[in-house]
Amino acid sequence: MVYYLNNFFFFIPEIHKDSIWETIINAFCHRDYSVPQKIQVAVFKDFVEVLNPGDLYGDLTIKEITSKRVSKRRNPLIADILHKVHYVEKWGTGIKRIKEYAPKTKFEEVSDFFIVTLKRKYIEETTQENGKLNKELVSLLNAIDKLPGINAHDLFEELERPWDTINKQIKKFVLKNLIERRGSRKTGGYWIK
């Protein structure tokens, strides 16, 4: 997601690029090419799903691939080519790398598909269970409510929090449509509830 704040653009990746990369490469490397389906990528509000034609190869189980470093090559020629062009580093490390960068990734077999579900981290982190906000977020909202027209720099001074913390909290509220920015981008603008 791309945001604009105080004359700066910044980018927050929702899913780590290495986990997406590994998921797609694994799909091409291990898919069952006899199944007349395409690899499918579906993007939803809070997750991305990659549907890979074919179930796990041989007698591998989801428990084995997520807890051990194992690999069985359904397509050895494709796997060798991907290894030679450095798209695959070591055999049996793809799932480990996906989980390293995206620990909440879910793996499952449904019908003739192996499905990888990657949580969209930023949206997940900004979604509060049962509508409750922590004390810092409440105090930020209260400051914006109490001081209409306050800018990010003044919030930093008012709340005496690190600049990065204020920016992260503002991003959360913008994403949830709890606050909005008003005023010219050239002059920095201000926040209202």
pLDDT digits (tens, 9 = 90+) for 1-43: 444 444 444 455 678 888 999 999 999 999 999 999 999 999 9
**Beta strands 47-53 and 40-43, pairing class:** antiparallel
Rounded average pLDDT over 149-163: 78
> Mean pLDDT, to the nearest integer, of 82-108?
85
Full set of structural domains in the chain with CATH: 17-124 (3.30.565.60), 129-192 (1.10.10.10)
- Mean per-residue pLDDT over the chain, rounded: 79
Q: Point out the least confidently predicted range of 88-92, 127-131, 171-175.
A: 127-131
pLDDT at 166: 79
**Tens of pLDDT along 162-181?**
877 877 887 877 777 777 77
**Which pTM was predicted?**
0.59
Neighbour-count burial of 158, counting CB atoms closer than 10 A to its CB (0-12 exposed, 13-18 middle, 19+ buried): middle
pLDDT at 101: 84
The closest alpha carbon to 140, from 94, 176, 113, belongs to 176
pLDDT band at 128 (very low <50, low <70, confident <90, very high): very low
CB within 8 Å of 135: residues ≥ 6 apart: none
How much is the pLDDT for 13? 67
